[in-house]
Copies of this chain bind each other. A is one copy, B any other.
Amino acid sequence: MRTSMLALGAAAALFTGLAATAPTSRAVAADPAADVIAGRKAAFLLSGALFGQIKAGIDRGDDPKALGFAARALAGWARAIPGMFPAGSGAAPSEAQPAVWSDRAGFEARAADYAAAAAKLAELAKAGDKAGFAAQFGEVGKACKACHDAYRKPDDHH
């Protein structure tokens, strides 16, 4: 239990500072890469907000069935992530590391890990397994962090 609570804390900490990073206007894109970068950054904030709502639900002791749609949405986004990092979309304001493209197989494997962890979270939600859901939420956070540590530039918000 101690381990899962630590994992939960680590998962929540991932998004610390995210609220301050929301863009205030859509950049006028001169190229498709800028649009896809803006899109994936916006979806990352959606993920972060959803992560926060799931954590709040766990903290309240909610029936995890009420959080299953959120978990499935995270899994769906995880599966879309590789496609949101096309070649040539690594310039600022992207925070992607060059390894996203130079180690593509590794990057896609980490995204698949995230999708699998979120899909398992959704299964535990469906089963109404409150303790399992809380523990698995920590695993989802670790899957996010494993990918970010390797493929996302460190920034001031982390």
List the interface of chain A (C-beta within 8 A of B): 18-19, 22-23, 25-26, 29, 32, 34-36, 38-43, 45-50, 52-53, 56-57, 66, 68-70, 72-77, 79-80, 82-84, 86, 115
Interchain residue pairs with CB less than 8 A apart (14): A18-B69, A26-B83, A32-B86, A36-B36, A36-B83, A39-B39, A39-B83, A41-B76, A41-B80, A43-B43, A45-B73, A46-B46, A49-B73, A53-B70
The CA-CA distance from A32 to B47 in the complex, in Å, is 22
B residues in contact with A75, CB < 8 Å:
22
Interface pair B39/A43, CB less than 8 Å apart: yes
Return the contact of A29 from the options B29, B34, B83 (Cβ within 8 A). B83
Copies assembled: 2
Return the contact of A34 from the options B18, B53, B66, B83 (Cβ within 8 A). B83
B residues in contact with A40, CB < 8 Å:
39
Interface pair B49/A69, CB less than 8 Å apart: yes
Given that A49-B50, A50-B49, A53-B53 are known contacts, is A39 also in contact with B80, CB under 8 Å in the complex? yes
The CA-CA distance from A76 to B26 in the complex, in Å, is 8
Closest residue on chain B to residue A36 by CB atoms: B36
Given that A50-B50, A69-B19 are known contacts, is A32 also in contact with B35, CB under 8 Å in the complex? no
Return the contact of A46 from the options B19, B41, B74, B79 (Cβ within 8 A). B74
The CA-CA distance from A148 to B82 in the complex, in Å, is 27
Chain B nearest CB from A42 CB (Å) reads 4
Interface pair A49/B26, CB less than 8 Å apart: no
Chain B nearest CB from A76 CB (Å) reads 5
